[in-house]
């Protein structure tokens, strides 16, 4: 499982070594994909397949969306999987559970989240192998959120309103976090990460507009457990 690190073993210089960790990927989606996603969000909203009972979030409105002819999976997800395999060497699985390398993957769950002010999504992880989040509409800016009077006495680094945050363990086993200070600039941004990577969404304030994101989970084709209670985003 060890990854080859880029080190000069003969150098007399002091080298700083960062042990390998499992990465995640970020990409801004091209307009044609963003347009497609809005199209299927609108269709899904009409049908309103209720996903809420399957999700960990405390947001008011989540519903399933349909990837027509697997367009998004083929055009965006597969290149992301290929890139992840290229940089990580393998899928994000625990040791020795990799299936037959020819085993297919598929987009098992795909849904949109409409989040309104004061709502939040507590720390959680997803089912499956790979997961992603796409920020479609961010109706606020973190830089404005932290100026709100209720945060006046909070240290700047602790002001998290409106953030998206990952958690992971460092070499001491300590939990670290990595946060996105979201604003409309992030619209169309996609984080593509191992499904087990813990993350959360903090509440935002001061606007009645909705925050819209898309999430998805990619599973091995041969091995997903049956859908149903408990197999959503927890």
Query: Closest CB to Fe ion belongs to which residue?
Result: 233
Q: Which of residues 134-163 bind Fe ion (CB under 5 A)?
A: none
For 22-83, give the DSSP string: ---EEEEPPHHHHHHHHHHHHHHHHH--B-GGG---B-SEEEE---GGGHHIIIIIHHHHHH
State which of positions 79-138 bind Fe ion (CB under 5 A): none
Q: How many residues bind Fe ion (CB under 5 A)?
A: 1
Instruction: Name the residue nearer to Fe ion (CB basis): 23 or 123.
Output: 123
Nearer to Fe ion, 115 or 233 (CB): 233
Q: Which is nearer to Fe ion, 62 or 233 (CB)?
A: 233
In whole angstroms, give the CA distance from residue 187 to residue 162. 14
* Binding-residue pattern over the window 174 to 213 for Fe ion, x denoting contact by CB under 5 A: ----------------------------------------
Residue 186, classed as helix, strand or coil, is helix
**CA–CA separation, 201 vs 166, rounded Å?**
9
C-alpha–C-alpha distance, residues 51 and 148, integer Å = 33
CA distance 39 to 193: 24
User: How near is the Cβ of 233 to Fe ion at its closest, in Å?
Assistant: 5
User: Nearest approach, Cβ of 215 to Fe ion (angstroms)?
Assistant: 5
Q: Are 124 and 228 contacting, i.e. CB atoms less than 8 angstroms apart?
A: no
- What is the closest distance, in whole angstroms, from the C-beta atom of residue 126 to Fe ion in the complex? 6
Sign of CA dihedral 135, 119, 179, 3: negative
Strand order in the sheet with 121-124: 121-124, 198-201, 164-169, 175-180
Q: Rounded to the nearest whole angstrom, what is the least distance from the CB of residue 77 to Fe ion in the complex? A: 16
Q: Which stretch binds Fe ion (CB under 5 A): 39-47, 167-175, 182-190, 226-234?
A: 226-234
Whichever of 146 and 213 has its CB closer to Fe ion, that residue is: 213
Q: Which is nearer to Fe ion, 146 or 216 (CB)?
A: 216
| Binding segment (CB under 5 A) for Fe ion, from list 14-22, 23-31, 100-108, 225-233 | 225-233
Beta carbon nearer to Fe ion, 145 or 233 = 233
In terms of CB distance, is 106 or 125 closer to Fe ion? 125
- Rounded Cα gap, residues 176 and 197, in angstroms: 12
Residue 128 CB, nearest approach to Fe ion (Å):
11
Contacting positions for Fe ion (CB under 5 A) = 233
């Amino acid at each position: 499982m060890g990854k080859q690190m880029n080190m000069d073993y003969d150098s007399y210089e002091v080298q700083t070594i960062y042990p390998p960790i499992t990465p995640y990927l970020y990409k801004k989606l091209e307009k044609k994909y963003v347009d497609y996603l809005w199209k299927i969000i609108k269709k899904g909203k009409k049908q309103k397949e209720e996903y809420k009972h399957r999700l960990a979030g405390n947001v008011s409105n989540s519903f399933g969306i349909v990837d027509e002819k697997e367009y998004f999976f083929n055009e965006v997800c597969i290149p992301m999987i290929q890139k992840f395999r290229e940089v990580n060497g393998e899928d994000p699985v625990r040791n020795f559970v990799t299936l037959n390398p020819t085993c297919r993957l598929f987009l098992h769950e795909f849904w949109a989240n409409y989040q309104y002010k004061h709502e939040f999504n507590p720390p959680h992880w997803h089912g499956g192998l790979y997961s992603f989040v796409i920020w479609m509409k961010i109706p606020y800016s973190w830089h404005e959120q932290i100026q709100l009077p209720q945060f006046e006495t909070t240290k700047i680094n602790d002001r998290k309103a409106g953030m998206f945050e990952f958690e992971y363990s460092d070499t001491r086993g300590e939990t670290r976090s990595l946060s996105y200070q979201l604003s409309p600039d992030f619209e169309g941004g996609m984080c593509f990460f191992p499904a087990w990577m813990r993350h959360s969404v903090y509440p935002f304030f001061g606007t009645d507009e909705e925050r819209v994101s898309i999430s998805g989970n990619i599973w091995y084709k041969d091995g997903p457990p049956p859908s149903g209670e408990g197999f959503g985003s927890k």
